[in-house]
Structure 1
Amino acid sequence: MSRRVNAARAATVVVVAAAALAACVPEPAATTSQQAPVIGGTPTTDGEYPAVGALWLGFGVGCTGTLIRPDVVLTAAHCLDPAFIGDEIPGFTLDGDPNAGVPVVVPGRATARHELFQLDVELQPGPQQFYDVGLVFLAQPITTVEPMTMATPAEAAAALAPGLAIELVGYGITDEQTGAAGIKTSAVADLVTFSDSELQISTPGQPQNCNGDSGGPGIADLGAGPRLVGIVSRSADVQPGCAAGGIDTRVDYYLGWIEDRVDGPCPSGCTDAGAPDAAPDA
């Protein structure tokens, strides 16, 4: 259901990482997109996952993101990388099918990517540390829905275990054959394994994140209600396609980084290029 980063667009920039990130940023219709929606999922109904929306770019739906404050969206760093979106600052829409008409889009005013995130790294299969976490600061708050609650380190430590059900939500490809995408879709898959900073979710035959789902949430009940536990990053096997499961950035691991920028100086320190002035926390 996710969209993965477009390798065709990034091939001259980051050959190794582009294949793995095929689940993030979509291309205009004339080019090949590596972003995808949840494979094996179903379209959401009105009111489902109200804090989950799409990053809106000049060509339409880019990645997926989750409202964590009325004016802050949590997404993946690679969704905001200039290699994929240039100097554009994405807007944000909560419309379930933004391509069906004229979507309600709240403009973005600034972005932030983790300072240690780099596209040009050699990724290995499975969880590792990729720093794939980013933020979009909106020009005005969204007050019609409740922001999603993020998992804390204590909650994650107590509840994360292989087999935990993870809800996947995104605007990515739902069918690799047709390339259909751009509708908010959801599914449930199992947590396979995890490291300190990443989660591996889903196995072959289960629902999958795909191109366009990048930046979207992995949601789990950790004992006190739904929590945002993951941010869709890439495929688990570092190959194009949406069949081998995916890797999510762990929200609890980067919670300090997120909160420092959301509640601290980042809104004034972030730039159009997306790099805050503050030193990294994780």
Structure 2
Amino acid sequence: MKKTLCVAATMMFLGCGERVDSKLNSDLKPVHADEPGLLNPVTERVINGSIPKDGSYESVALLLSEANVSVAGGPASRRQLSICTATLISPSAILSAAHCVNELILKTAIERATGPDGKPLNAKIIGSIEFRVAFVRNLAELAANPASLLAVSRVDEHEDFALTKNPWAAFQKNPGKWHDVAIVHLAKPATGRRIQKLATAEQVNAEVSNASLGRQFAGYGLSDESNPQSAGTLMEGTAHLGEVGTNEFIAGADDAQVACHGDSGGPIYMDGTEDLQIGIASRINKKIGLGDIWDGITGNVKAPSCEVGLVYTRVDTYLDWIKKHVTDME
């Protein structure tokens, strides 16, 4: 049942874009655009977003996963699995969403990957999943300079992340308590880059009182939800806050610009600037129902539209947890 819930809940998540190197996986495609999988060389970006000006979002990073994957029992080869967004919060650590680094979610999606004919590929991850980080504006820049990929030494996923600790949280009304937060530690410090500052509870509580103010957000996600090829570039947008809870808040419902699949782990900021990050993109604002569980059992899972808005993890709620895991944080 836990894995079935994972299949259904995976549809809610925003993370997981497309892979970088088509030479390895040109014959594979995802089951759904919001799942990590064995994919073609595209990602996803902000719907109706715009390209940021030079010098902006210097702390925003591309988070990639990779592993050895066997298809139909064949020999395993190295594959790029998924893409998320993250922010540099210290010279040695980036902040992202727990589901971006959760092995159960990644492995479940890989096992459900299909080929061009829609038939299961019977793909399986062999060994461990590894993560890489890049501070690039688009995938073309990364392809031109593969040395810009930074190695990761370890990942700290929140111990109470819902799909690991309490999968039934998926049935609760949003905003909830999914604890969808993770720290990715770099093997070597990232030098010469802006460090993202995180908002405190006092700052966030003051911010949410002004619902009319648009909040900036950024990510590498879909620019056209109907076109999984609309991908690969860091984009920005503006969203308005909706309901606010103690651990999460909703933003972007009915806005023209909205974060979507591939933007998971990405930031949303306070006061219309990128000075202070108030949230981490988590999932589409849709509560899982019994029909979703049945679809997870039958394999007929469909990704919901991002137009209903997104659920963001409040960074202020997890500041103590973050500081506990990031010793060089200012």
Tell me the TM-score normalized by structure 1.
0.82
Equivalent position of 1:170 in the other structure: 219
Q: Distance in 2 between matches of 1:123 and 1:205?
A: 25
| 1:13-59 deviation per Cα after TM superposition (whole angstroms, max 9, x unaligned) | 613322211x1123555223206421110122331100001102232
Q: In structure 1, which of residues 84, 93, 97 is the aligned counterpart of residue 138 of structure 2?
A: 97
1:88 is aligned, of 129, 136, 140, to 129
Q: Choose 1 or 2 for highest CA Rg.
A: 2
For the residue of structure 2 that corresponds to 1:135, the secondary structure is strand
> What is aligned with 2:25?
none
Partner of 1:185: 235
Residue 198 of structure 2 aligns with which residue?
150
Which residue does 1:240 correspond to in 2? 304
Which of 42-51 and 31-40 deviates more? 31-40
Q: Corresponding residue for 1:197? A: 247
Gaps of 5+ in 1: 1-9, 265-282
- SS of aligned partner of 2:9: helix
Distance in 2 separating the partners of 1:52 and 1:123? 31
CA distance in 2, matches of 1:154, 1:125: 25
8 Å CA contact 2:215–2:272 kept in 1: the answer is: no
- Conservation of the 8 A alpha-carbon contact between 1:24 and 1:214: yes
8 A contact 1:52–1:65 mirrored in 2:
yes
What letter corresponds to residue 256 of structure 2 in structure 1?
Q
Report deviation, 1:60.
6.7
| 2:6 matched residue in structure 1 | 14
Match of residue 71, structure 1, among 89, 92, 102? 92
| Mapping of residues 15-164 of structure 1, within 5 Å | 15-21=7-13, 23-26=14-17, 28=19, 30-31=29-30, 32-34=32-34, 36-58=44-66, 59=80, 62-85=83-106, 87-100=128-141, 101=143, 102-103=145-146, 104-119=148-163, 120-121=167-168, 122-161=170-209, 162-164=211-213
2:223 and 2:81 map into 1 onto residues whose CA distance is: 17
SS state at 1:243 partner: helix
- Distance change in 2, residues 1:171/1:127 (3 Å): same
- Match of 2:320, SS state, is helix
> Higher helix fraction: Structure 1 or Structure 2?
2
Write the letter of the residue equivalent to 2:284: S
SS of residue paired to 1:254: helix
Instruction: Verify the 8 A CA contact 2:221 2:259 in the aligned structure 1.
Output: yes
Are 2:48 and 2:256, in contact at CA under 8 Å, matched by a contact in 1? Answer: yes
Identity of aligned residues (%): 30
Shift of 1:138: 0.2
1:220 maps to 270
State which drifts further: 100-109 or 112-121: 100-109
Runs of 4+ in 1 over 4 A off after TM superposition: 10-13
Q: Which consecutive unaligned segments of at least 5 residues does structure 2 have? A: 20-27, 36-43, 67-79, 108-127, 288-302
Using the alignment, how far apart are the partners of 2:103 and 2:131 within structure 1? 12
**Worse-matched range after superposition: 158-167 or 212-221:** 158-167
Secondary structure of the structure 2 residue equivalent to 1:37: coil
Q: Quick check: 2:10–2:105 contact (8 Å CA) kept in 1?
A: no
Q: Which residue of 2 aligns with 1:274?
A: none
Count of residue correspondences:
253
Distance 1:185 1:173, change over 3 A: same
> Structure 1 pair 13/130, CA: closer, same or farther in 2 (3 Å)?
closer
RMSD over equivalenced CA pairs, Å: 2.3
Cα distance in 1 for residues equivalent to 2:155 and 2:106? 12
Task: Give the letter aligned to residue 327 of structure 2.
Answer: D
